[in-house]
């Protein structure tokens, strides 16, 4: 092989490996959830809460469930479940830093650039979330702001 062929082959291999790394799952910064945060929670929204959503017509119910576990799900090392009670829903990669939880932005159910940051407090069986930063652009995904922050969540499991 000529020197030019070798350089081109190395360049193509590097480009391919960088492309594969970029195509892998995105993970927001942070680590596992503290024991006090892990669990299954439920909340019930009001009509006024749903009206605050980015796309209120796409909030199918007032009763919601939030599941936080320190275990891998699908291809994510840590994933949070957010869904209407008794139904399927979104699985969102997360990371915890102190009293903040970072939730991955999604587009059409796939990780996208950026992550929303929410402060949390846990008192007894009550979880409260407060929006700090939400750059996610998909309007349906932005519904999670109203769902997560409108009402306290009660631990049910």
**Domains of the chain from N-terminus onward:** 25-155 (2.40.128)
| Position 14 pLDDT exceeds 70 | no
| Position 11 pLDDT exceeds 60 | no
Which of 138 and 43 is assigned the larger pLDDT?
43
Least confident stretch, 4-8, 19-23, 54-58: 4-8
Q: Please give the pLDDT value at position 137.
A: 86
- The per-residue pLDDT for range 48-80, each reduced to its tens digit, is 999 999 999 999 899 999 999 999 888 889 989
The Cα-based distances of 86 to 18, 44, 90, 113 in angstroms read: 41, 13, 13, 30
Query: For the chain, what percent of residues have pLDDT higher than 90?
Result: 65
| Position 4 pLDDT exceeds 60 | no
pTM of the model: 0.80
Angle (CA) 136-140-143 rounded to 5° is: 80
Which of 102 and 141 is assigned the larger pLDDT?
102
Confidence at 25, pLDDT banded by 50, 70, 90: low
Which of 15 and 30 is assigned the larger pLDDT?
30
CB atoms under 10 Å from CB of 1, counted, come to 8
Buried-exposed string 9-47: b where 16+ CB fall within 10 A, e elsewhere: eeeeeeeeeeeeeeeeebbbebeebeeebebebebebee
């Amino acid at each position: 092989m000529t020197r030019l062929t070798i350089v081109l082959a190395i360049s193509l291999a590097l480009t391919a490996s960088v492309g594969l790394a970029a195509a892998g799952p995105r993970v927001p910064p942070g680590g596992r959830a503290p024991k006090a945060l892990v669990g299954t929670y439920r909340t019930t929204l009001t009509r006024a809460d749903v009206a605050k959503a980015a796309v209120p017509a796409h909030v199918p119910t007032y009763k919601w469930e939030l599941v936080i576990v320190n275990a891998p799900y699908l291809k994510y090392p840590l994933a949070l479940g957010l869904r209407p009670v008794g139904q399927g829903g979104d699985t969102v990669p997360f990371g915890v830093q102190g009293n903040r939880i970072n939730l991955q932005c999604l587009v059409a159910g796939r990780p996208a650039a950026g992550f929303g940051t929410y402060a949390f407090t846990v008192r007894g069986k009550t979880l409260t979330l407060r929006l700090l930063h939400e750059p996610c652009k998909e309007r349906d995904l932005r519904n999670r702001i109203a769902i997560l922050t409108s009402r306290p969540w009660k631990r049910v499991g």
